Structure 1
Amino acid sequence: MRFSLVIATIDRVKELKKFFEGLEKQKTKDLEVIIVDQSGDDRYVELIEQYNKIWPIIHVRTGKMKVRAATVFGTEKATGDIITFPDDDCIYTPTVLEQVDQHFRSKDAPQFVTGSVVNLDGNPTKMGRWLTSSTWLNAKNIWTGLIEFNVFVSRAAYEAVGGYDTDMGLGAKFGAAEGPDLGLRLLKRGYKGYFDKNLVVMHPDKPITINGPRAISYGLGHGYAMRKNNSGLDTVGVFLFRPLAGAFLNLISNDKKKASYYWNTFVGRSKAYFSKEARIASRKS
């Protein structure tokens, strides 16, 4: 098996169907899909039966779990050489798997590959800043070059570094940045990562004015990941100063929603970076 796609999902049947429709257009068919279903009923059964005729689908049922705990649970069933973790509401453009396969078969093959993000209209995403040219990943640019639903990892490398940190991601205290954390641990172990700007996955935009608790949670994840992985002071400074500046500038322009978002992001990042949990994690890394 070449690819294992692990998808944690709950109550998104229509979105998952659209993902399957995009997956059906891929030239590469050597794949399996592992659905970690947390819905507690049979709402996915008909859809899975329909697409199970095209590629094998492993349907795993669980109670409600943190996203990365569900991902790790599903990954235990994976048999593919390359593992990936698409969101249930993303859509692959037609050549995604073919491009990834070519990277992994190249002479100077990376052990993980990442790519660009556009919204469902095909326009640049509003979900943060992203690299604009293809390049090898390092400890600095990985923060703008890796997002969880568009990363493809050698299963051997993924397992060697222990996979995702289940204390991070949606539903966990440190609610984001589990992807960069995984990438940084891969780099530290000596594995190579490559960002391909032409490797495009579509994903719905998230509004910048997300609610306060979620902005703080995302910030907590970012701050924790920086401290855990002993990021340089230049990196830490940029990611602490930028939201603080954003809060100040938007307050001046009387955009209170954006100012609040940036302030909460700063609060989350700084709180986690200086937390006891992050200090302990940094000593272990």
Structure 2
Amino acid sequence: MADTPRLALCVATVGRITELDRLLTSLERQTHAGFHIYLADQNAPGVLDSMLARHASLPLTRILLPSRGVSAARNHLLPLVADEEILVFPDDDCWYAPDTLEQVVAAFRRHPEAGAVLGFWTSSPQAAPPSNVERQLSAAALFSQGGTCVQFYRAQVVKGLRFDSRLGPGTGLPYGCGEDTDYLLEAHKCAPVWRCPSIRVFHPSPDTHVPSDAKIASYAASRMYLLKKHAFPLWFRCANVLYPLCMLPMDALRKGRKAARYRWRMFVERLRHFSS
């Protein structure tokens, strides 16, 4: 790795001006300045112009694309990535602590064998990680710890790897998520993945609203598709179906009726897609 490694931040965005503004503001405050932003703008022409003008000091390359899904947008960005050594896919509604990129570089130095490192995300900048212990993750653990916004890749390891265009929001297909986990699972086949909680990423909490039935169904379809695609054992697939049912009583007591209904719908949908 170079003395001052460069990072490529590939951001796909649509319909989020305020959130993207927050992300770019956090990038202006990074203690590690060696990065370039590659932006796939899926909005109508001109929507982001005035906001991006406020961040003219940032190194940014923008391409305009029709809104055909996050996976397709990221795949369009990848050929633009130049000689950066670390590859990142920030959600357009996440934002970074001032030392996030500095911590990413330090993590890759500590783990030269790693193909990817995962940070810790929270909705509150004041929250501390549950543990500072760094550890290598199994493929199964990536399902619970590998959200897009905390993934950072060694570019050489994932060279040539692309997102599954069937997965993710905006495709019009039943699989409304999972593109990030799929990409991470493919990278894990090439090199180890380490969890490094010192890398802080902020993201709105999903607990603030309950997804619609259509979104729950798309989440379930994506999960079961991924389990089959990557040939996880039958016991693990069954555990994924039963997990929402096991969590239902606890969520009902802690969070109420809506959370319990969410768990029930997720169980039903995962069961429906188990053998499809």
SS in 2 for 1:191: coil
Bigger shift: residues 262-271 or 11-20: 262-271
- Cα–Cα, structure 1 residues 236 and 85, in superposed 2: closer, same or farther, change >3 Å? same
Contact preservation (8 Å) 1:122, 1:202:
no
Partner of 2:48: 44
- Displacement after TM superposition at 1:206 (Å): 1.5
CA distance in 1, matches of 2:147, 2:256: 28
The SS at the match of 1:87 is coil
Q: TM-score, normalised by structure 1?
A: 0.84
> Which one of the candidate residues 63, 69, 72 is aligned to 1:69?
72
Partner of 1:13: 17
1:1-285 matched pairs, under 5 angstroms: 2-53=6-57, 55-79=58-82, 80-106=84-110, 108-120=112-124, 122-123=126-127, 133-160=133-160, 162-172=161-171, 173-188=174-189, 190-207=190-207, 209-247=210-248, 255-275=256-276
Alignment CA distance shift 1:122-1:176 (3 Å): farther
Residue 20 of structure 1 aligns with an amino acid whose one-letter code is L
Deviation of 1:221 (Å): 1.2
What count of residue pairs does the alignment treat as equivalent? 268
Does the 8 Å CA contact 1:216/1:268 hold for their aligned counterparts?
A: yes
Deviation at 1:83, TM superposition (A): 1.1
Deviation at 1:25, TM superposition (A): 1.4
Separation in 1 of the partners of 2:15 and 2:240? 34
Contact kept in structure 2, 1:226 and 1:273, CA below 8 Å:
no
For 1:192 and 1:253, the matched residues in 2 are separated by 36
Distance in 1, matches of 2:76 and 2:101, equals 23
Q: In structure 1, what is the Cα distance between the partners aligned to 2:244 and 2:111? A: 41
CA distance in 1 between partners of 2:255 and 2:204 (Å): 27
1:111 is displaced (CA, Å) by 1.2
In the alignment, what sits opposite 1:278? none
Cα pair distance change 1:257/1:108, threshold 3 Å: same
Whole-Å Cα distance in 2 between the matches of residues 217 and 229 of structure 1? Answer: 18
Q: Which residue of 2 aligns with 1:281?
A: none
Decide whether the 8 Å contact of 2:168 with 2:175 is kept in 1: yes
SS of the aligned residue for 1:200 comes to strand
- TM-score, normalised to structure 2's length? 0.87
Paired amino acid for 2:199: L
Q: Contact 2:220–2:266 (CA<8 Å) still a contact in 1? A: yes
- Give 1:118 deviation, angstroms: 0.4
Backbone CA RMSD of aligned residues: 2.6
When residues 232 and 51 of structure 1 are mapped into structure 2, their CA distance, relative to the original with a 3 A threshold, is same
Deviation at 1:117, TM superposition (A): 1.0
Change (3 A) 1:254 1:5: closer
Q: After superposition, what is the alpha-carbon deviation per residue over 1:4-41, rounded to whole angstroms, capped at 9, x for unaligned? A: 11111123222111111111111111111111111112
- Displacement of 1:131 in angstroms is 8.4
The letter of the residue matching 2:223 is H
Q: Runs of 5+ in structure 2 lacking a partner?
A: none
- Write the letter of the residue equivalent to 1:72: N
